[in-house]
Amino acid sequence: MSGFDTVIVVDWSAAQGVRPIGKDAIWIGVVSQGEAEEPVHMPTRLAAEAWLADRLRAEIATGRRVLAGFDFPFGYPAGFARQVTGSDDPLVLWDWLAERIEDDAKGVNNRFEIASQLNRIFTGVGPFWGKPWQWKERFDDIPFKGTDRTQTTVAEKRACDTVAKASSSVWQLNAHPTVGGQALMGLPMLSRLRRIDGVAVWPFQDWRDAPAVLAEIWPGLIESAVPKDGIRDRHQVRLLAHVLAALPADELAAMMQIDAPEEGWILGAEHRDHLTGLARNAPPEAYGARVKPDHSDLTPPPLSNDCFALPPGVDWTPVDTALDLLRKRLRGVTGTESVAVLGADGRILASAVNAIRANPPAPNAAVDGYGFAHSATGDGAQSLPLTNGRAAAGAPFTGTVPQGHAIRILTGAILPNGVDTVVLEEDTRTDATHVAFNGPVKPGANTRRAGEDVDVGAPLFDDGHRLTPPDLALLSATGSATVLVRKRLRVGVLSTGDELASPGATEDPARTYDANRPMLLAIAARWGHEAVDLGHVADNRDILRAALDAADCHAILTSGGASAGDEDHVSALLRDEGALSSWRIALKPGRPLALGMRGGVPVFGLPGNPVAAFVCALIFARPALSVLAGGTWVEPEGFTVPADFSKMKKPGRREYLRARMGPDGVQVFGSEGSGRISGLSWADGLVELKEGAATITPGDPVHFLPYASFGLV
């Protein structure tokens, strides 16, 4: 409809502190692909910024175009930016603010300090005004009342504020509506969000083809249609997201045809009545009924059918060529979801993650000892009077330690005011009133700097990173409670062959027990996927078709029936109904490998021989499934070790030998027969012999890939 797949509306807040659900909190409304999501509440600006960055990245990654609206001015009245930064470009002003505005995980911020600093740049009093009563002795540069201002450099309002009939002023910092505070606290966030790849800012940048557009909006435009009951902010974001998403694309494009390179514009400022009308006629879900419960599910479109097509005329495909093709053609196919960090081990991130707080968050003591200001100490014997009280981890000392005094401090305690250096307990003597030690002590000794490990905002992980246990520690330490991850890839495993039976079935020497299925299911699970048992089916086209049709999976591993013989129904079915590429890969053990697409689902037709099925799964299916799951292309990391075997290898194809480490080097299994399942268990890895000819004698260096390097640990 609107030309955007997803519309996000943010009701921002300048409030101090962590905001519970309710008014003066941050609310975010979303309509995605025509579906309204339950508005989300954000307790702090930092949490909201992390959420927005995640969501923008996820939308862009899944190829959806997104419009993100924010309810504070993107620009100031003409002339302001130049006076402050020397440039008319509002984006330069955003960066200026981003460098100075501080905000923390508790919402404590320095907006009044920065507003004072800004006011000092202007001749006369103002333009910022308004501060809480308890601060009447502070911030001399900010007058209480708007009428006390005398500066004449900048106007009271922007052109669009007049058009939109907005009563609020961007200069007002206190008492409702505090648009001034919201802009000071919001623009630094936008200065960071706009740097995400694919994001453009309307109307300052070329937004027409941008995958994500940030725009100024104002719920006041649809004020009279917003329900009066419940939490107004929540209603507002839900309804405005709906209205913007429902606008026909050409209408929205016309609304965005604005020339306001310095002050910016409120989207739809001159269309109040029209937007209000749309809001009044909105369907029930825009008013909170029947909303989609899972707001984090973004499912990408299916893969195309020619995914596995091989270049024409290729006979034997080298392993690396086959891998290159897979690597180029595949991409993530699963949707996204938010999960608690506590349960996120092994999950794949759906967006990059930055630190929400610094680690450590505040300067603290690295040892048990005594803290003081370094400047009061010198060389030789020192004796400092002790301040009453102590600083401990989790129980900070809230007073100030006078210059020349010391305080008892324990490991992990925040350094109290007046303390920048700590002397180790073991290096001191103390009585009830004084602590004595030998100088000189290095300035800052035995302390940890705030952010010395990780700065707030520092990039932690890229999109596609698979989380490990230490990653959970880092995420938690830096303030992430939840992460946006890919939904697990559902990998179906199906065995084919008339001869197959399950162990425990009637003993019959004509039957082969299905060995591949338990092996492949376990492998898929170790790789972090959801392994789905599709059973085994006879060599019968209809039965095979029914089994594949019934499978609700993102990818399927079959074994057996992959060659071009009479009973090779997997390849036949894929050829007839899907898109098949019979890959004749120059690999031992391996061929044949049938790769096909069936209804958008990739099918990896592995060979029936268990050894070949195992090797093909490790070499081909592992990196392919990792990419399908939203992760990176993974390659085994092996190492070079001396051979403890002899072998004459013919040129032409790559070989993987079942191998294990022994005292004199790596040994290989006695038989290379691909039906010898026992060799897989005997081995703890594979020796890789590249395509060329080779004569290997004991002691020669060979490349060994432990099972662990294939994610099998």
Footprint of ligand AMP (CB under 6 A)? 495, 497, 499-500, 512, 514-517, 559-562, 607-610
Distance of closest approach, residue 549 Cβ to ligand AMP, in angstroms: 21
The CA distance from 384 to 157, in Å, is 57
The CA distance from 464 to 446, in Å, is 38
247 binds, among Mg ion, ligand AMP, none (CB under 5 to 8 A by kind): none
Site for Mg ion in 607-646 (CB under 5 A): 608
Annotate 508-573 with three-state secondary structure.
CCCCEECCHHHHHHHHHHHCCCEEEEEEEECCCHHHHHHHHHHCCCCEEEEECCCCCCCCCHHHHH
Q: How many residues bind Mg ion (CB under 5 A)?
A: 4
Instruction: Please identify which residue in 360, 492, 561, 706 interacts with Mg ion, judged by CB under 5 A.
Output: 561
610 binds, among ligand AMP, Mg ion, none (CB under 5 to 8 A by kind): ligand AMP
Tell which residue, 62, 34, 49, has the closest CA to residue 212: 62
Would you count residue 203 as binding Mg ion (CB under 5 A)?
Answer: no
By C-beta, is 104 or 514 nearer to ligand AMP? Answer: 514
Read off the tokens for 58.
């996820």
Would you count residue 497 as binding Mg ion (CB under 5 A)?
Answer: yes
512 binds, among Mg ion, ligand AMP, none (CB under 5 to 8 A by kind): ligand AMP
Piece of the chain touching Mg ion by CB under 5 A; list 62-70, 176-184, 495-503, 643-651: 495-503
User: Which residues lie across from 500 on neighbouring strands?
Assistant: 512
Sheet containing 555-559: order of strands: 530-537, 490-496, 555-559, 601-606, 593-598, 579-583
Distance of closest approach, residue 285 Cβ to ligand AMP, in angstroms: 49
Distance of closest approach, residue 545 Cβ to Mg ion, in angstroms: 16
Q: Are 137 and 111 in contact, with CB atoms under 8 Å apart?
A: no
514 binds, among ligand AMP, Mg ion, none (CB under 5 to 8 A by kind): ligand AMP
The CA distance from 603 to 414, in Å, is 57
By C-beta, is 594 or 601 nearer to ligand AMP? Answer: 594
630 binds, among Mg ion, ligand AMP, none (CB under 5 to 8 A by kind): none
Q: Are 150 and 141 in contact, with CB atoms under 8 Å apart?
A: no
The CA distance from 422 to 406, in Å, is 9
636 binds, among Mg ion, ligand AMP, none (CB under 5 to 8 A by kind): none
559 binds, among ligand AMP, Mg ion, none (CB under 5 to 8 A by kind): ligand AMP
The residues near 168 (Cβ < 8 Å, ≥ 6 apart) are 161, 177, 179
3-state secondary structure of 191: helix
Q: What is the CA radius of gyration of the chain?
A: 33
The residues near 208 (Cβ < 8 Å, ≥ 6 apart) are none
Piece of the chain touching Mg ion by CB under 5 A; list 65-73, 74-82, 408-416, 496-504: 496-504
By C-beta, is 298 or 562 nearer to ligand AMP? Answer: 562
Q: Are 167 and 84 in contact, with CB atoms under 8 Å apart?
A: no
By C-beta, is 219 or 608 nearer to Mg ion? Answer: 608
By C-beta, is 211 or 497 nearer to Mg ion? Answer: 497
3-state secondary structure of 685: strand
Burial classification of residue 130, based on how many CB atoms lie within 10 Å of its CB (0-12 exposed, 13-18 middle, 19 or more buried)? buried
Distance of closest approach, residue 686 Cβ to ligand AMP, in angstroms: 19
Distance of closest approach, residue 593 Cβ to ligand AMP, in angstroms: 11
Piece of the chain touching Mg ion by CB under 5 A; list 512-520, 561-569, 619-627, 652-660: 561-569
Piece of the chain touching Mg ion by CB under 5 A; list 311-319, 372-380, 489-497, 520-528: 489-497
- Let me know how long the chain is: 713
Site for Mg ion in 574-613 (CB under 5 A): 608
By C-beta, is 389 or 565 nearer to Mg ion? Answer: 565
Distance of closest approach, residue 597 Cβ to ligand AMP, in angstroms: 21
The residues near 7 (Cβ < 8 Å, ≥ 6 apart) are 30, 31, 32, 66, 67, 68, 69, 241, 244, 245
Distance of closest approach, residue 655 Cβ to ligand AMP, in angstroms: 19
Instruction: Please identify which residue in 75, 130, 416, 560 interacts with Mg ion, judged by CB under 5 A.
Output: 560
By C-beta, is 182 or 609 nearer to ligand AMP? Answer: 609
Distance of closest approach, residue 591 Cβ to Mg ion, in angstroms: 14
Piece of the chain touching Mg ion by CB under 5 A; list 43-51, 81-89, 169-177, 490-498: 490-498
Question: Interface residues with Mg ion (CB under 5 A)?
Answer: 497, 560-561, 608
